[in-house]
Amino acid sequence: MDSQAKTILLKDYRPPAYLIEEVALAVDLFEERARVCSRLVCRRNIGTAPDAPLVLQGEDLVLKSVALDGVPLTPDQYRLEEESLTIPTVGERFLLAVETELYPQKNTSLDGLYRSSSNFCTQCEAEGFRKITYFLDRPDVLARYEVTISAEQERYPVLLANGNLVETGVLPEGRHYARWQDPFPKPSYLFAMVAGNLVKIADTFVTRSGRSVALEIYVQAHNQDKCAHAMASLKKAMAWDEETFGLEYDLDQYMIVAVDDFNMGAMENKGLNLFNSKYVLARPDTATDADYEGIEAVIGHEYFHNWTGNRVTCRDWFQLSLKEGLTVFRDQQFTADQVSAPVKRIHDVRLLRNVQFPEDNGPMAHPVRPDSYMEINNFYTVTIYEKGAEIIRMLHTLLGVELFRQGLALYLTHHDGRAATTDDFVQAMAEVSGRDLAQFKRWYTQAGTPRLTVQGEYDPEARTYTLRLAQATPATPGQPEKEPLHIPVALGLLDGQGKEMPLTCPERQPEAGRNLFELRETQETIRFSGVPEQPRLSILRNFSAPLKVEYGCDEEELLFLFRYDRDPFNRWEAGQCLASRLLLGLVEDFRKSRPLQLDERFVAACGRLLAEEGGDKGFLALLLTLPSEEYLAEQMAVVDVEAIHAARTFARQTLARSLRPQWEQGYAANRSAGPYRYEPELAGQRALRNLCLAYLMSTEDDAATQLALAQFRGTDNMTDQMAAFAGLAHSGRPERQQAIADFYQQWQGDSLVLDKWFAVQATAPLPETLAAVQALMDHPAFQLKNPNKVRALLGSFAAGNPVCFHEVSGRGYAFLAEQILALDPLNPQVAARLAARLGRGARYDAGRQGLMRTQLERIAAIPSLSRDVYEVVSKSLG
Ligand code: B3K
Ligand code: ZN
């Protein structure tokens, strides 16, 4: 290990000893190096002893000079260490000037100041600013920034930083400069700057108070025609936040820069968002409906951070979900308002179940507010983001729309311009509602997915229905015992015709008004009276809490709910539940070499759905989609990847064959007229049509292959092209190679589309896939230094291709380990994400467990491992 793998603890948090009020930064960019001069106006914090040293963080910097109040310091007046600069004696208020040199050209970590496509850009969250200059690089130090950037004019005509442009000018030797001032105090992680040769797409937004905001998207010239959707999304997001939460934008300018090399989706830097180009660029022929939706969501997410994250930020990184969970909730609501709300909810829950539940059940499980970490970048997880958003959603459900809005407003006014904690947020919600949320806060501190066990009993004599609910949260690393949680449970009872029964529940009157029950004990009983017949229970409607429900109802009841439930989420859920049971039954049959047979009632129910006219077609497509292999794996004590794959394939093929005319009819009837437009309704129609195609293709017969080929070649849009391409490339048909070659031929000039090409090949559940992935590593379009490429090829293989990755010989694991070792010295953040895939061994049979362990040990044996990979690997080894 390079750097000692020190564990940082929440309980060690202390306020900063010194504060920085003003930052003046001069950044001079050259081809070989960058020179940074910082002038910091500092003061001692209240409560700090006068003799306390000033300790600044810095990494990979060459220190050129330090001056205190204008007087240069000699090396004996400061202490320079690997990751810090200490000045033992400073005054109560002082001006510190530090000059450093750094090498962005060599920075492959994409953290700090680096180069991408011959431009300069930055990424400072969580701790990248310390790679630019020595600083108090922690989120509770908020300062005002003035930034002057200079660079060669011809190569870098565009010079951007946070805030407002206040001055530009020319310099000798073909250089020029731009000076930016950000009037809002901010933590260093929100700092950003860009220097490059970019074109600007401009528009304006007039806020509801009448201020005009300049909106600017900067991209490389060849991408100019792919920005319209991003711009439209930004305007929608700005209007939505005003309408929904009364929140207006605060600067005169809002800039978005698209960057090809980016570790994650995007970054909310004040007034200057940096985006992975994947979340900006879209044209009908290059981006799918899912890409369009993703762009709208991420543009919204980063915009919403301006209030929830930037104006009010996090006190320390343990509070990360304060801004992330809340902002994900906000972007989910935004998307739900643009598209079909049930479809959006189902997508969110699928992500939670397929990715967060396994994380919460593995060696990296952590609470939404963790209490320790080694490397904070490892904690930008689905738990912090998605489970964090579920916590906010539960508060929204408990308080209702209006009180939640008031709570958010109170929180923002109270902490504006400051750093806050998740406790502060809950406190604001408690204040506006008068509720006691002390128990609720356990959602932040306890890891693990809770289990809710449900039993219902009808008494026809007494006309009562008694519901027995019990909760338990499993042990997770470092948390053997769990306390009961405060759980909002939304439910309904249906009569034999599928109509809602009015709920009369004498002991719980006040809450029952909204059909919402609040569970606080380990076990509780809810008794409904005046129930005229045996009801069908629809439990946890709209997924009112992020937990696993265990309800032993029979298949008839699930079929009934699948048909009649008024809550669209639970209607889908009933279908998934039923399908999971059937599929897990098939898994057992497969393991015991018994003949496989799919329940005819389920087939008939799907057939009936397909025959339905009208309605939300995107929703219908979800009703007809079988649970994923990951989700099925989640439900098995010991995962059997082959049996799951075989069972699911059998079920798909059986549905395809039994309902063939219906799929054909669905395919034909849902052809959309006219050129491609991204509209939720049309996207729903395309989803349904492509689902029909996928079922037809699952049997891999000639007719279906011809249909796919025709669509692959004849469409005007990437949604349809990708659907056909994936169908062909995942089949064992001879046409697959031609499709792969043709797709490449057509799209070799478009890096983002090539990511799709890599991903489709990496997820093909075919015996030759590993060899193909290995060969693609040497393809000229593949670059280990580009995170999108790594995710497309290696990420998709390890996370989206269970049968090949977990292939019994362990070759998949060994291959991944090799790539992690190659990537770690270049980009530890991305390497650590891949390493987490090897940490799920405990869920598999002893053989695979051992093979994964061997690879983890092989990685752990490397002495120069990054802190990122070290943390994941050591925790996975236990
Ligand atoms: N806040 C950033 C994520 C930063 C990740 C640092 N490793 C993007 C977002 O959540 O909006
Ligand atoms: Zn975010």
- CATH, residue 502: 2.60.40.1840
Antiparallel, parallel or unpaired: β 451-459 and 464-472: antiparallel
Is 302 one of the catalytic residues?
Answer: yes
Estimate to the nearest angstrom the gap between the alpha carbon of 519 and the chain centroid: 29
Beta pairing class for 212-219 and 253-259:
parallel
Q: Which of 502, 521, 545 is the last residue of a domain?
A: 545
Give domain status of residue 584, yes or no. Answer: no
What are the beta bridge partners of residue 18? 44
SS3 824: coil
pLDDT number for residue 411: 99
Of all protein residues, whose CA lies closest to atom 8 belonging to ligand 1? 267
The DSSP call for residue 500 is: B
Contact 36/122 with Cβ under 8 angstroms?
A: no
Give a yes or no: residue 857 inside a domain: no
Residue 680 CA to ligand 1 center (angstroms) comes to 27
Amino acid at 20: I
Q: Is residue 1 part of a domain?
A: no
Residues 145, 23 share a domain: yes
240: enclosing H helix or E strand: helix 228-245
Closest-lying ligand to the alpha carbon of 375?
1
Residue nearest to atom 3 of ligand 1 (CA): 267
Q: Are 391 and 404 within 8 A, CB to CB?
A: no
489 occurs within a structural domain: yes
Q: In this structure, which residue's CA is closest to atom 9 in ligand 1?
A: 267
Q: How many CB atoms lie within 10 A of CB 854?
A: 15
Q: Whose CA is closest to atom 7 on ligand 1?
A: 377
Query: Is 368 in the same domain as 348?
Result: yes
Q: Which ligand is nearest to the CA of 868?
A: 1
Helix axes 600-611, 660-669, angle to 10 degrees: 20
Asked whether residue 441 falls in the same domain as residue 469, the answer is no
Does an H or E element contain 256, and which? strand 253-259
Give domain status of residue 837, yes or no: no
**What's the pLDDT at 511?**
63
- Taking alpha carbons only, the member of 557, 548, 466, 539 closest to residue 507 is 466
**Which residue's C-alpha comes closest to atom 4 of ligand 1?**
125
The residue contributing the CA closest to ligand 1 atom 1 is 267
- Tell me 483's DSSP state: P
* Residue type present at position 310: N
For the CA of 828, the nearest ligand: 1
Helical pair 388-399 and 320-338, crossing angle rounded to 10 deg:
70
Which 8-state DSSP code applies to residue 479? B
Q: What is the CATH number of the domain that holds 380?
A: 1.10.390.10
Boundary (domain end) residue, out of 196, 220, 252: 196
Residues of the chain with pLDDT under 70: 1-4, 510-513
Residue range of the domain that includes 327 = 322-445
Same-domain check for residues 340 and 473: no
CA-to-CA distance for 669 and 697, rounded, in angstroms?
Answer: 17
Check residue 258 and give its pLDDT: 98
Ligand 1: nearest atom to the Cα of 126: 6
Q: Are residues 429 and 412 in the same domain?
A: yes
CB-CB neighbours of 361 under 10 Å: 18
- Asked if 432 and 487 sit in the same domain, the reply is no
Tokens describing residue 664: 């054909």
From the alpha carbon of 829, which atom of ligand 1 is closest?
7
How far is the centre of ligand 1, averaged over its atoms, from the C-alpha of 113 (Å)?
16
Distance separating alpha carbons of residues 609 and 602, to the nearest angstrom: 11
User: What is the enclosing helix (H) or strand (E) of 334?
Assistant: helix 320-338
| Active-site pick, 302, 375, 634, 871 | 302
Closest atom of ligand 1 relative to the 298 alpha carbon: 11
Q: Closest ligand 1 atom, CA of 305?
A: 11
Q: How far is the CA of 322 from the centre of ligand 2 (A)?
A: 10
Q: Indicate which CATH number applies to the domain containing 59.
A: 2.60.40.1730
Q: Which of 267, 279, 307, 323 to mutate to test the pocket of ligand 1 (most atoms within 8 A of CB)?
A: 267
The Å distance, Cα 266 to ligand 2 centre, comes to 8
CB-based contact 629:805 (threshold 8 Å)? no
Neighbours of 74 (CB within 10 A): 8
- Please tell me the distance from the alpha carbon of residue 88 to that of residue 74, in angstroms, as a whole number: 13
Element containing residue 820 per DSSP (H, E): helix 811-823
851 exposure class (CB count in 10 Å sphere: 0-12, 13-18, 19+): buried
Mind giving me the DSSP string for 429-452? HHHHHT---TTTTHHHH--S--EE
Q: How many angstroms separate the CA atoms of 582 and 632, rounded?
A: 11
Q: What is the pLDDT of residue 613?
A: 79
213: Cβ–Cβ under 8 A, 6 or more apart, which residues?
204, 205, 206, 207, 238, 249, 251, 252, 253, 254
Question: How far is residue 421's CA from residue 260's CA, in Å, rounded to a whole number?
Answer: 33
Ligand 1 atom closest to Cα of residue 377 = 7
Q: What sign does the CA torsion over 121, 122, 123, 125 have?
A: negative
Q: Indicate which ligand has the atom closest to the C-alpha of 380.
A: 1
Per-position DSSP letters for 522-568, written without gaps between them? SEEEEEE----S-PEEEESGGG-SSSEEEE---HHHHHHHHHH-SSH
Ligand 2 centroid – CA 404 distance (Å) = 20
Residues 6 or more apart from 127 whose CB is under 8 A from it?
57, 111, 137, 189, 376, 377
If you count them, how many residues does the chain have? 878
Alpha carbon distance 146, 130 (integer Å): 17
Q: Which atom of ligand 1 is nearest to the CA of 302?
A: 11
Smallest CA separation from ligand 1 atom 10, residue: 324
| Closest CA to ligand 1's atom 5 | 125
Question: For residues 470 and 169, what is the distance between their CA atoms, to the nearest angstrom?
Answer: 69
356 with 422, same domain: the answer is yes
* Most informative mutation of 189, 259, 264 for ligand 1 (most atoms within 8 A of CB): 264
Domain presence at residue 55: yes
| Nearest in space to 652 (alpha carbons), one of 727, 724, 591, 570 | 727
CA of 286 to the centre of ligand 2 (A): 26
The bound ligand whose nearest atom lies closest to the alpha carbon of 308 is: 2
CA 209 to chain centre: 33
C-alpha 335 – ligand 2 centre gap (Å): 15
Ligand 1 centroid to 270 CA: how many Å? 13
| Ligand 1 pocket mutation pick from 259, 321, 324, 378 by most atoms within 8 angstroms of CB | 324
Pocket mutation for ligand 1, best pick of 380, 386, 867 (most atoms within 8 Å of C-beta):
380
Strand partners, 779: none
Whether 438 and 457 map to the same domain: the answer is no
Q: Ligand 1: which residue has its CA nearest to atom 2? A: 267
First CA to last CA distance, the chain: 18
Question: 97: alpha, beta or left, given left = phi > 0 and alpha = psi -120 to 50?
Answer: beta
pLDDT for position 612? 86
Let me know: does 319 contact 424? Beta carbons within 8 Å: no
Do 380 and 495 fall within a single domain? Answer: no
The CA 429 to ligand 1 mean position distance, Å, reads 25
Q: CB under 6 Å to ligand 1: residues?
A: 125-126, 264, 266-268, 301-302, 305, 324, 377, 380
CB 813 within 8 A of CB 838: yes
What distance in Å separates the CA atoms of residue 316 and residue 302, rounded to the nearest whole number?
20
Q: Which residue is closest in CA terms to ligand 1's atom 6?
A: 125
Domain co-membership, 441 together with 528: no
| Shared-domain flag, residues 38 and 170 | yes
| Tokens standing for residue 144 | 């005002």
Total number of domains constituting the chain: 3
CA angle 23, 24, 26 (to 5 degrees): 135
Q: Which mutation among 124, 125, 383 tests ligand 1's pocket best, with the greatest number of atoms within 8 A of CB? A: 125
The last residue of a domain, from among 515, 530, 545: 545
Closest ligand to C-alpha of residue 299 is 1
Answer whether residue 422 is part of any domain: yes
Q: Ligand 1 center to residue 267 CA distance, Å?
A: 5
Q: How many CB atoms lie within 10 A of CB 204?
A: 11
Tell me the backbone φ, ψ of residue 40, rounded to 5 degrees.
-115, 125
With contact defined as beta carbons under 8 Å apart, do 316 and 139 qualify? yes
Q: What is the largest CA-CA distance in the chain?
A: 95
Q: Please, are residues 111 and 263 in contact by the beta-carbon 8 Å criterion? A: yes
Residue 35 belongs to a domain? yes
* pLDDT for the residue numbered 510: 60
437 and 455 share one domain: no
